[in-house]
Amino acid sequence: MTIDSDLNFTTGKGRTDIRVPLVLRLYDVRVNGTPLEVGPDCRTRGSLYSSDPDPAQDTKDHVHLLGTVIRTPPTQTGYTLTTGGPLTTTLTIPAFSGCGVGEDLDALLSASISGPDNFAKQIQGQTCATEVMPRPPAECTEDRQPVVIPVPQR
């Protein structure tokens, strides 16, 4: 995973670009409530991928997640590495392989799931201090877990 983050204090705007290779694995599949055995190795043939705004990084082997922030002191809206927030992308899901027990389900699952233009939104929670300190910040528990857990969004 690589992370590039920049906050322009003059404009109060910032962006974070996160690039990470992700493979989608399927298990516990049900069709109309009936279990469909896909086996332990059912996954995409390669990484999910999304268009990268940096042409040099647009290698189709990773997902590019974007977080943006607008800061108007004393408040800010959006995503920062330390406070968390929404990260979004539109990604392509590659074809599946290794799917099926007793029969090959690769083509069925690829036709049903794979393809472009899949919107994804991840809500990251606040990070809790990685530096050594006598006690964690008020927003974190003693074992450095965030007190506020973000609510999933659609």
Q: pLDDT averaged over the chain?
A: 91
Q: Is the pLDDT of residue 134 over 60?
A: no
Cβ neighbours around 119 below 10 Å, total: 8
Residue 139: pLDDT band (50, 70, 90) is confident
Averaged pLDDT, 14-30? 96
pTM: 0.83
pLDDT at position 72, please?
Answer: 87
Q: Is the pLDDT of residue 135 over 60?
A: no
Averaged pLDDT, 30-44? 96
Q: Which residue in the block uniquely carries the two structure tokens 């974190």?
A: 140
Q: pLDDT above 90 covers what percent of the chain?
A: 69
Q: Are 80 and 86 in contact (CB under 8 A)?
A: no
pLDDT at position 118, please?
Answer: 97
Express each pLDDT in 82-97 by its tens digit. Answer: 888 999 999 999 999 9
Radius of gyration, alpha carbons of the chain: 19
Distance CA 25, CA 152 (A): 21
